[in-house]
Structure 1
């Protein structure tokens, strides 16, 4: 069963579920929500912070990015917390080359780059997403 909220997804990851798969399942649930209000409800509750600063920052970026991309009209206030930002840059790829670091620095959406997370241009796209194109 896929997590229906970002807070639920984070809880599962903190309990040992695979991060990438669990967050992808959440994005699927978010994309399937029938209304903007239902989508916002998926993001509204603050996920618990834990021992993984990358996860804490990543979910802040995800929530802000999804709220803006889907034009929900507001972003949850919790995304602005200090634990939602990384002190050191994180290039979300395995062993990035200098060229890849340069590309990711340029391509990363502001919601991720402002948290010191550097990723591809459309980091949360899924096959079923209306924004996948």
Structure 2
């Protein structure tokens, strides 16, 4: 069952579910919500800090990014917690060359870069459309 809130997603990850899968399911759930109030409600409750600095920062970035990109009119206050920021840069491309690192530095959305997370220009994009049965 897909997580209804970002806090539920973090709970699932801590229970052993695959991080990439759970976060993708959450983004789908967020995008499919029928109103902006439901979207905001899905990020409003603060997820538990996990002790994994990268995950904790990523969760803050996701909540802020979704709130701003979907123009919800507000961002949950918990995203400003210093524990949601990394002390050293994290380039999400595993084998980032110097050129790739430079690209990621300049292409990362502010919600990620401000947390020292450097990723692609549209980090939460999801494939949409009908699935082929053949």
| TM-score using structure 1 length | 0.95
SS at match of 1:17: coil
Equivalent in the alignment of 2:15: 15
Equivalent in the alignment of 2:36: 36
Distance 1:67 1:91 in 2: 23
1:114-129 matches, cutoff 5 A: 114-128=114-128
- Kindly tell me the number of residue pairs found equivalent between the two proteins: 129
Equivalent in the alignment of 2:132: none
Equivalent in the alignment of 2:25: 25
Answer yes or no: is 1:50 the counterpart of 2:58. Answer: no
Equivalent in the alignment of 1:111: 111
How far did 1:74 drift?
0.1
Distance 2:107 2:117 in 1: 11
Equivalent in the alignment of 1:97: 97
Distance 1:109 1:128 in 2: 22
Q: Deviations over 1:63-86 (max 9, x none)?
A: 000000000000000000011000
| Cα contact 1:10–1:48 (8 A) shared by 2 | yes
| Cα contact 1:27–1:124 (8 A) shared by 2 | yes
How far did 1:117 drift?
0.1
Q: Deviations over 1:19-46 (max 9, x none)?
A: 1110000000000100000000000000
Distance 2:31 2:53 in 1: 26
Equivalent in the alignment of 2:63: 63
| Cα contact 1:28–1:128 (8 A) shared by 2 | no
Which has the larger Rg? 2
SS at match of 1:66: helix
